[in-house]
Structure formats: C-alpha cells, structure tokens
Chain A
Amino acid sequence: MDAEAQESFREFVANRSSALLRTAVLLSGGDRHAGEDLLQNALIKAAGRWHRIDEPEAYVRQILYRQQISRWRLKWRGRELSVAEPPEPGTDMEAASSATELRLLMRGALARLTARQRAVLVLRYFEDLPEAEVARILGCSVGTVRSTTHRSLARLRALAPELRALGPSAAESKPARDYSNVEVRS
C-alpha cells in the first residue's frame, strides 16, 4: 500500500467507521469488543485490496456480513456472547417499564441467535433492505432469506416467551418457503 492509498484508506475509515461499527456490533449481538474485532478484520482485508476496490463501503459491508457467518465463525459460534441477564418481568408492572423490559429481553434473545439469523434480521430491519438485496449480499436465494427471517423471529419468541404476546410480523404471515425459481446471485 503506497502513501496515497494509505491516505485514502485513512480518509475512508475516518468518514465511515462509525456507521460500519454500528453494523458490526449489531452483527456481533451487541458485543462491542467482538464488533470492533470484526470490523478491524474486514478493514484489513479491504486494505490489502484497496487499489482494486471500486466501492469500498459496499465491499467492507459485504465482508462484514459474510465474515460473520463464514464457516470459521460458525466453528467458533460456541463463543456465546455474554449479555446481562434481563430482570424477570414482574406481574403488575406498568406499561413503560414493561416496554423497557421487553426491549431488554429482545437484546438478550438477539445475542443468542446464530450469526446467520442475526445477519438476516440486521439487514432486513436495521438496514431496511429488500429481500432481494439481502439475498445478493448473503449469496443465497430470496426463498432462503424469507425462511431464515421467519425462523429467526420464531426463535426469538422461543428464547423469550414474553415476546409471544406480540403480534406476528408480516414476514411470519408469508409462507416460510418459496419454491419459485428466484435465484438472485450476481
């Protein structure tokens, strides 16, 4: 990497690292240390190919998502993230505190999903990307994105039974599998 490339790399990191870190930490189930580690590795990979990358942000994001769900990470997924145990919900709590507790429960449940399940939810509900775009980023079919979303939401309910009181999402009212030939793979 020559001086000019290093300068443009530094500028990119200075401008975009806050946003990228948010994604990386969410992908890591809220663990900042793991998120920084993930982003650092993605940026190292990008730095090695800096000259050949046309859209650095798209490239780094793709690495973030794919790296997080790669086989190596899966091998290490036993490294469960530690999250503070949410308090047991009281029986007569007020609406406000119950909403807070619900969010705490949800955080805990999100951290316990598999990396791939979490990646799909972050892409769909944090990045607000359409299913076809999620499929392209993860390198799978739209049907797989749909079924993974469905199963991830179901898993959240299983992990935190208190969430069962919530209404079903739009994703859950669709069929879990899609047998059409929509294969989005660029």
Chain B
Amino acid sequence: MNVDDVVREVLREQAAELTPPAPGFADRVLAVRRRRRVRGLATAAAAVAAVIAVSVGVPGLDSGGEGVRPAGGVEQDRITGRTDQSPPRELLAAGEVAMAAYYTTEKVRRSADRMVSERTYWLLDPRTKKYEKDDRWSFVAVAPGLKTAAVLERELPADRVGLLDLASGEVERWIPVDHEAGGLAFSPDGRKLVATTYGEDPGLLLRVEDPGGPVGWEPREISSRNGFQVIDVASGAGSWTEVATGDEPFGPAGFVNARQDFAFSADGRFVWAGRVSDTVELDYFDLAGDAVAPPTREAHRTWHVEAGLSPDGRRLAGDFAGKGMKTSSWILDPLTGEQVAEVHGQQLLAWADNDSLVAWDIAADGNEFHQRLVLVTVGSGKVVPLSGFRSPEDDAKGRWEPVFVRR
C-alpha cells in the first residue's frame, strides 16, 4: 500500500463519519450574517459598547478567576482605560505602554484591476492627550517617549522618511532613502529606524476572477519586498541590505506576505522579520546586513505575536492557546520555547510591565473578530477591559488597529 492510498482511505473514512449539519443551518447562517451587518453599523454607538463592556464577564482560566474590573477614564495603577470608546478618543495606556496611535484600513480602487489597501492614522497629541486624525501619512511609526513619529507620505513605496513632531504636527526633517520604503520601525532606544523597502505598494490588491462567482481582490502571491535600510535618526545616514524573496509563492523556503516588515530585536542589535514556512520562521540580520542566528531569547518568537519579549527578558509572548469559546495565549520560556503559562487574550499586543500584557480579547458572542483591548496578567485570571468593542466587519470604520509604544 502506498502513502497516497492511505491518505485517500483516511480522508474518505473521516468524511463518512460526519453527520449532516443540524436542521436550520441555513437560517443560522442568515442570522449571523444579519447580526454582523447590524453590528457593523452600530459600533459607533459608544453608549452601547459601554454597556457591553461592563456586562460581559470573562471567566477566569482557572476556578479562582477574579473576573472583570473595568478600567474607567481615570488613571488607576497606571492604567487608563476607555471602555466606552471604540476607537478611543482620549489617551489609552497601561503600565509602561501607551496607545500612541491607531489606524483604520480602507480599500481604494485605483484602476479596473488594481486596488490599494490604505491606512488612515489618528495620532496622540501629547498636549491634549487626544487622538487626532492625520491623513497625510500612509505609514506611521512612533518613537518611544511619544514625542516623535517617523512617517511615510501617501503614495507607497516612498522615497523619503519624515520625522514628525507630534506636538506641532510639523515634519522637522526629511530623510531620503536609497530604496523606496513601505514600512518603518524604531529601535527600542529610538535612535535608529529600520525602513522595509518594497518594489511596489505592499497594500496592492489585484483583481482575481472566481469561476462562477464575482470578482475577488488578492495581494500578489510573491511579495515585492526587496530589503531593509537601517537609518541613524540623528545623522540620517543609512545602509541598505537586499533580502531576496523566493520566486515560488509556496516553495520549500516558505514565503513572505505582501507586507512583511522588518523590526528591531529587543536589544536593538539586530533586525528581523517573520516568514510563513514549515521550518524557518524568523530571519535575523545584524545591522551590517549579515544574516545571523536569532538572539538566544528570541529564537522561539512567534512572528505574528506583536508583544515579543517582556521588559526584563524573562518571558516571551506566544501564540493563541484557546479552543472553541475560550480565548487564551501562551507565555513561553524565551530560552527553551516551553509553554510556561497561559493567559487570557486572543492576541498579545504589548507588555505593560514584566507580568501584564495588553491584548485583544473577544466578546461573549464567540465571534473571533468582535474584540476589545484588555489588560491580562500572568498567573492571574483577572481581565481589565481597556477599550470598547471594535466592529467585526472587515474594513469597517470601527475596525481600528492600535499602535503601542513605551511611554
């Protein structure tokens, strides 16, 4: 017997064991569709969001869970939550991090067969502590300290990086880049920037015809990413490193997404980016552009989990650990990759201190896209809501993405 015979047999056997969907499946689908549409329209009603935020209980992971303590618009234990706001209008912060900005994404038609997924940013004004819309930029990275941001202008990829004074709203200096950039990230000390360079707009979507169906829009299978440039912020000096992407979208080396940006390692000595692959998921380079092995404490990093290493380097934020209606994430030992704890939260975004993280978590309806920001703590079932719920509708105005930065 050959291996494909067994595959065939097992797939058929599995299929034959399945019972049909419960009666009324079509009505369930139509009901969910209606609910999603209504929710998409209703999320602007902050009052509704506030009521949900307070009334929904998130069960503790263990029987000793401490339930919910909503954080109001007042600073308590260095936590400033906005449970009645989605997206937040005023400063949202927890421990060492603050939401420096947020953005929404919109698909804009450029021609018959091209569309671009564009971001619009709202930036925290350090004087008023409010988020103000600034639609001049297609990409924004905020430096630690929340005073300066690096920005890219509207048409991506861009040939210069602006240093924006967040208090005045003025660009203080322009830094030209050798290769056009589509993404930016600051080093942990704010003295360097890494610009990810692309051959075309990483938000580009192309028209794809579905057989028997309407038109779909998908990113190019092979990313146009071509490298990165490390920039010294003070002098503007930089050097570019070419990083090739494979020419086979699902080849043995894996692939990179249309937008797959570089960022600095926790100690600022390396830059890295993720890769979708069965084997190697992380590519690290030193600042001279030579490929290196990942630093010891980051070798087990999950690239799509933004939180990364805890400030003291003793914990690593890991992947989704939940199942069914339970949403939780792993905390890993950075040295071994071993799962050492499980915390609430569907997606870990930033470490507020050595024990707590800001995360997305879902509403009690179980819809994986209907989420709010919460603060979770390792070794505790406590969940502190920080924001109102965002809309589950893809591309909806209510679907904002936060940018967290050390304050």
Q: How far is the CA of A181 from the CA of B152 in the complex (A)?
A: 39
Query: Is B13 part of the binding interface, using a Cβ–Cβ cutoff of 8 Å?
Result: yes
Type the 1/0 row for B258-301, where 1 means its CB is closer than 8 Å to any CB of A.
10000000000000000010100000000000000000000000
Type the 1/0 row for A12-47, where 1 means its CB is closer than 8 Å to any CB of B.
111001100110011000101100100110011001
Query: Is B64 part of the binding interface, using a Cβ–Cβ cutoff of 8 Å?
Result: no
For this complex, 28 residue pairs linking A to B, each with C-beta atoms less than 8 Å apart, are: A10-B27, A12-B26, A13-B25, A14-B26, A17-B20, A17-B25, A18-B20, A18-B21, A40-B28, A40-B32, A44-B36, A47-B33, A55-B211, A56-B212, A62-B210, A71-B257, A103-B9, A103-B10, A107-B10, A126-B12, A136-B211, A140-B249, A147-B251, A157-B3, A166-B1, A166-B5, A170-B2, A186-B209
Query: Is A90 part of the binding interface, using a Cβ–Cβ cutoff of 8 Å?
Result: no
Chain A residue at smallest Cβ distance from B9: A103
**Which residues in A have their C-beta under 8 angstroms from that of B278?**
114, 155
| B213 lies within 8 A of A62 (CB) | yes
Which residues 173-224 of B sit at the A interface, judged by CB distance below 8 A? 208-214, 216, 218-219, 221
Chain B residue at smallest Cβ distance from A163: B3
Query: Is B8 part of the binding interface, using a Cβ–Cβ cutoff of 8 Å?
Result: yes
Q: How far is the CA of A52 from the CA of B211 in the complex (A)?
A: 12
Query: Is A87 part of the binding interface, using a Cβ–Cβ cutoff of 8 Å?
Result: no
Interface of A toward B, CB cutoff 8 Å: 1, 6, 9-10, 12-14, 17-18, 21-22, 25-26, 30, 32-33, 36, 39-40, 43-44, 47-49, 52-56, 58-59, 62-63, 66, 71, 74-76, 78-79, 82, 102-103, 106-107, 110, 114, 116, 121-122, 125-126, 136, 139-140, 144, 147-148, 151, 153, 155-157, 163, 166-172, 186
Which of B87-95, B99-107, B319-327, B383-391 touches A? B319-327
Chain A residue at smallest Cβ distance from B212: A55
A181 to chain B, nearest CB (A): 14
Chain A residue at smallest Cβ distance from B28: A40
The majority secondary structure among interface residues of chain A is helix
| B11 lies within 8 A of A153 (CB) | no
| A144 lies within 8 A of B248 (CB) | yes
**Which residues in B have their C-beta under 8 angstroms from that of A170?**
2, 4
Query: Is B239 part of the binding interface, using a Cβ–Cβ cutoff of 8 Å?
Result: no
Query: Is B244 part of the binding interface, using a Cβ–Cβ cutoff of 8 Å?
Result: no
**Which residues in B have their C-beta under 8 angstroms from that of A47?**
29-30, 33
The majority secondary structure among interface residues of chain B is mixed
| B11 lies within 8 A of A126 (CB) | yes
**Which residues in B have their C-beta under 8 angstroms from that of A14?**
26
Q: How far is the CA of A58 from the CA of B213 in the complex (A)?
A: 8
Band of interface residues on B: 35 or more
A53-B212 contact given A125-B8, A144-B248, A157-B3, CB 8 Å threshold: yes
- Of residues A1, A14, A148, which shows the largest number of chain B Cβ atoms within 10 Å of its Cβ? A14
Q: How far is the CA of A6 from the CA of B36 in the complex (A)?
A: 17
Chain B residue at smallest Cβ distance from A77: B276
Query: Is B6 part of the binding interface, using a Cβ–Cβ cutoff of 8 Å?
Result: yes
**Which residues in A have their C-beta under 8 angstroms from that of B6?**
102-103, 106, 163, 166
| B250 lies within 8 A of A140 (CB) | yes
| A168 lies within 8 A of B2 (CB) | yes
**Which residues in A have their C-beta under 8 angstroms from that of B213?**
49, 52-55, 58-59, 62
- Of residues B32, B212, B216, B320, which shows the largest number of chain A Cβ atoms within 10 Å of its Cβ? B212
| A26 lies within 8 A of B11 (CB) | yes
A96 to chain B, nearest CB (A): 14
With A40-B32, A139-B221 given, name 16 new contacts (CB 8 A): A1-B30, A13-B26, A21-B21, A22-B15, A26-B11, A26-B15, A32-B18, A44-B29, A44-B36, A71-B257, A71-B258, A79-B320, A156-B3, A166-B1, A167-B1, A170-B2
Query: Is B302 part of the binding interface, using a Cβ–Cβ cutoff of 8 Å?
Result: yes
**Which residues in A have their C-beta under 8 angstroms from that of B18?**
18, 21-22, 25, 32
Query: Is B112 part of the binding interface, using a Cβ–Cβ cutoff of 8 Å?
Result: no
Type the 1/0 row for B312-330, where 1 means its CB is closer than 8 Å to any CB of A.
0000000110111000000
**Which residues in A have their C-beta under 8 angstroms from that of B1?**
166-167
| B319 lies within 8 A of A78 (CB) | yes
Chain A residue at smallest Cβ distance from B252: A151
Q: How far is the CA of A107 from the CA of B14 in the complex (A)?
A: 8
| A75 lies within 8 A of B304 (CB) | yes
| B320 lies within 8 A of A168 (CB) | no
A140-B2 contact given A58-B213, A186-B211, CB 8 Å threshold: no
Query: Is B74 part of the binding interface, using a Cβ–Cβ cutoff of 8 Å?
Result: no
A16 to chain B, nearest CB (A): 10
| B249 lies within 8 A of A33 (CB) | no
| A59 lies within 8 A of B212 (CB) | yes
| B211 lies within 8 A of A62 (CB) | yes
Q: How far is the CA of A47 from the CA of B31 in the complex (A)?
A: 11
